Each structure stands twice: as C-alpha cells, then as structure tokens.
C-alpha cells in the first residue's frame, strides 16, 4: 500500500521517478490477468508519460509543480476533461460534443501536478451502488476475485484502480454513497465531503441537491490531501484526536438491520477496539433516520432530479440505457411538484432535528454497507435481487447525503476476510475534525 505522503517523499528524494510510477501503473492496467480493461474506460497512456517526464524534469531543475506532482490518479468518467466527451459510463452520449474546459476539480488536480491515468469506469450515469456496467464491463472487487464480486458503485473503477495499484488515488462522486460504497467493497478509504466545499461544475449531474465530489485512496491522510486539493485548500498533515473520552454514537435503529455475518462480526470487533482505546460509545435511537425513509417514500431527490436531466435523452435513446438505470430514472417521472416541495421542507426539518440530536457526540458510527460484496453474476441474472441489494448497500451512506454532512468509510475487516467498511458521519462543515477523528480510528483498527 502506497500513500500519497510516502510517494511524495520518495519522489522528492529521487528514490523513484514520476515516469517510473506511471509505467508501473500502465503495466498493471494492461495486465491481461488483471482488471484494468474493466476499471478504465479510457487510458491516457501517452499523456501520462509526457506529464511524468515533464514533472521529473521540473523536479530535477528545482521547479517542481508541488509536493504531490508526478503521482498517478484516476478520474471518474463523470467529469469534464477539455477536448473529450464526458460519457458517464454510458453509450448514449457517444458522439456528444467534447468538453471545452476542464471541470474545476480536474483543473485543481492538474495544477497540483497529479497525473491522470485515464477515465475510470462507473455505473451508468452514477445511478446505482453496485458498480455493474453492461456497456464497459464490471471490474471485480479484489476480494475473492475468482467468484467475481461487485466492486460497489457508482465509482467502481476508481476503487478497483486504487486497490490494484493502477492509480494511487481516484476522483469519485457521491450522491448516495458512491465514494464510500466502493471503498467498502474494495477495502480502501472513501470520503464524502460536505457538498458545498467542492464545486460540482463540469461534473455530469445525478442529483444536484445531493451530489458531492470526493476521493478514494489508501488511507485517511491520502483522502485528506486529495480533498483539500479538490476544495481549493492547502493540504496539510492530519492531526489525530485522542480517542480517549471521545463520544461516539452507534444508532440502534435502521442502520443495523439486515447485516450479514461478516459485516456484523467486523463491526462489533471495531467497536470493541475503539472502546478499548478509551472512546465512549453510546447506543442511540435516531428517529430522524425513520423520518428520512418516510420522506423519501415518494421517490427521493435522485429520481426526480435525474429524470429532469434525462427525460429528453430517454425519449430519443432510452433503449440504449442500462435497463436497471433506466428503470430507476423513470421512477422520477411520477413525482409531482407538490411532492418535491414537501421533500425539500422535510429535509430542512430533519436536518435541523438531527443537528440537535448529535450535538453531544463527536461522530456517528455505523457499517458502511450491510452486506459484503455479493457475486456480480447473481445480481445480473435477477432484477429483483439487483434492486434489493442495491437499496441495502446504499441505505446507510445515503443518510449523510440527505443530512448534508461529511462522512468517511474505512476498512475494518481483518486481512483475508471479506471487506467491510466502518463509516463515521460528522457534522455539516465538520470535515477537518472528521479527518482527525478518522485518522485516530484508522490507527486504532490497525491494518
């Protein structure tokens, strides 16, 4: 596992070169026994090599672009790259006009000197938490690869590329868990910031009310660096918060329903380690979670806002959509304007109520997903099972999007076991504190 800090230090000392890092990533992407052909939709091999050579030349001349210049990353196929068509993991946008400018988040990553290896695969139009893509193939989770298990979505390629060393961080999006679910399924770290901190301009929308842009990487500190760049902030070291005396709330309702045995065992073991480190863990019933489920009963923000964007494209090319994605988008057609206004009002009320309920706690803890990654083939063969598992995997992480909070998923399983994510949900605009807490939790959980 390579962190951004360790890579930056080795680049600065001359132990490695940006060109060497890029060539290593390209070799892993091209490996016919690996997942590169499914993790990446487009590989920017020549551009990456040219950027690496330029980075090495500037560093040797003492004119490096920055501390992290020369480190390979992946860009989700949802963000605008100047001169390229943003297809969002679909085929219906083939031939659409190319972007005339980089999305702000892409421009910020390039200015920091990161090297994009290409466009990473994703669920079509980001509308599923499973990571299955019938157009470009589905990259497999690193765990039990012979069984072909889901990578999580929608930022599937970003997660697999980091887990397999094809990139050292990935740019993802998160509307209901799309950074955190694939991180949990692939055994890495995924972060959802407070949405307003990172601009979503130049990113093809799913639900502008809920959309946020975040990183997937090998550690909490890596995600903090990447997040700072995306937010236009100066990256800095993450200060650890002492776990002793911290107040952590574990919900007793909603988020613990339907856990499989692997998730339940890893979650309980993680709670014990945190308690042994001195954290005060309280079991709390949050009625607001049940209120969110009732508020979303008419369809939620994602369905209606996605339908508003897709309705004309669906009329022209609906048959070319992934049927599972098309079905979810079309549900938004049934929501009335009155229903939407009711949903907006309910969200504001529930957010205020939840802010009051969590005021005395440092974070809320829960499993990121209730299930370890199931086999892809089982879900592809059964539309009912696809929908059931998708709703389950998105259930917990989507709470943070509805509540407009920051949240992070870190691996809490023991090496060799099924990957399980532990999610910490912080407060709105409490990102810096959540990173500090997550770094301490990460250290307490161990490798």
Angle subtended at Cα 25 by Cα 116 and Cα 170, rounded to the nearest 5 degrees: 45
388 backbone dihedrals φ, ψ, rounded to 5°:
-65, -50
81 token code pair: 């790259």
Mark whether 154 is an active-site residue.
yes
Measure the CA–CA gap between 320 and 315, rounded to whole angstroms. 11
Helix (H) or strand (E) holding 349: helix 337-357
Per the CB < 8 A criterion, the answer to whether 303 and 358 are in contact is no
Sheet holding 169-174, edge to edge: 40-43, 115-120, 72-76, 169-174, 212-217, 189-192, 407-411, 421-425, 363-367, 247-251, 280-284
Measure the CA–CA gap between 264 and 370, rounded to whole angstroms. 8
The most distant pair of C-alpha atoms in the chain lies apart, rounded to whole Å, by 62
Start-to-end CA span in the chain (Å): 10
DSSP helix/strand/coil, 420: coil
Q: Which of 55, 90, 154, 436 is catalytic?
A: 154
Q: How many alpha carbons fall within 13 Å on the CB side of residue 443? A: 13
Q: Give the pairing of strands 247-251 and 363-367.
A: parallel
- Concatenating the DSSP letter of every residue in 113-163 gives T-EEEEEEP-SGGG--SS---TTT--PPPSTTGGG-B---SSSHHHHHHHH
Q: Which of 17, 178, 212, 398 is catalytic?
A: 178
Mark whether 266 is an active-site residue.
no
Given the structure tokens 């669906």, which residue do they identify? 314
Per the CB < 8 A criterion, the answer to whether 183 and 190 are in contact is yes
Which residues have C-beta within 8 Å of that of residue 301, sequence separation ≥ 6? 207, 209, 210, 343
Helix (H) or strand (E) holding 215: strand 212-217
DSSP label of 98: P
Mark whether 353 is an active-site residue.
no
State the CB neighbour count (10 A cutoff) for residue 322: 21
Q: Give the pairing of strands 72-76 and 40-43.
A: unpaired
Cite the active site residues.
76, 154, 178
């Amino acid at each position: 596992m390579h962190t951004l800090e360790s890579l930056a230090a080795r680049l600065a000392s001359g132990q490695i070169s940006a060109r060497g890092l890029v060539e290593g990533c390209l070799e892993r992407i091209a490996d016919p026994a690996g997942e590169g052909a499914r993790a990446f939709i487009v590989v920017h091999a020549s551009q990456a090599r040219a950027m690496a050579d330029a980075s090495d030349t500037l560093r040797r001349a003492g004119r490096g672009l920055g501390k992290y210049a020369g480190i390979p990353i992946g860009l989700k196929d949802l963000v605008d790259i100047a001169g390229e068509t943003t297809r969002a993991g679909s085929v219906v946008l083939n031939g659409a006009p190319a972007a005339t400018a980089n999305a702000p988040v892409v421009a910020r990553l390039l200015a920091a000197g990161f090297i994009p290896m290409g466009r990473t695969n994703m669920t079509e139009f980001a509308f599923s938490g499973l990571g299955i893509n019938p157009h470009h193939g589905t990259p497999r989770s690193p765990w039990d690869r012979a069984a072909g298990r889901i990578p999580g979505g929608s930022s599937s390629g970003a997660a697999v590329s980091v887990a397999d060393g094809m990139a050292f961080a990935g740019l993802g999006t998160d509307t209901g868990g799309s950074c955190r679910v694939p991180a949990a399924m692939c055994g890495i770290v995924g972060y959802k910031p407070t949405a307003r901190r990172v601009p979503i301009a130049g990113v093809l929308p799913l639900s502008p009310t809920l959309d946020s842009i975040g990183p997937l990487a090998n550690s909490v500190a890596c995600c903090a660096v990447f997040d700072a760049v995306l937010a236009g902030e100066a990256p800095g070291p993450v200060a650890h918060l002492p776990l002793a005396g911290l107040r952590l709330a574990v919900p007793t309702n909603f988020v613990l329903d339907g856990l499989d045995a692997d998730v339940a065992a890893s979650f309980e073991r993680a709670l014990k380690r945190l308690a042994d480190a001195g954290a005060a863990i309280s079991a709390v019933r949050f009625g607001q979670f049940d209120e969110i489920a009732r508020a979303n009963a008419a369809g939620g923000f994602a369905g209606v806002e996605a339908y508003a964007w897709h309705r004309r494209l669906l009329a022209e090319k609906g048959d070319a959509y992934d049927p599972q994605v098309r079905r979810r988008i079309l549900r938004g057609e049934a929501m009335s304007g009155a229903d939407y206004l009711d949903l907006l009002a309910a969200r504001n009320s529930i957010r205020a109520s939840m802010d009051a309920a969590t005021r005395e706690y440092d974070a809320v803890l829960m499993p990121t997903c209730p299930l370890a990654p199931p086999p892809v083939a089982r879900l592809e063969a059964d539309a009912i099972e696809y929908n059931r598992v998708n709703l389950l995997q998105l259930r917990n992480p989507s709470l943070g999007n509805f509540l407009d909070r920051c949240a992070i998923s870190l691996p809490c399983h023991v090496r060799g076991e099924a990957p399980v994510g532990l999610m910490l949900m912080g407060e709105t605009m409490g990102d810096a504190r959540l990173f500090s807490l997550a770094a301490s939790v990460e250290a307490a959980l161990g490798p």
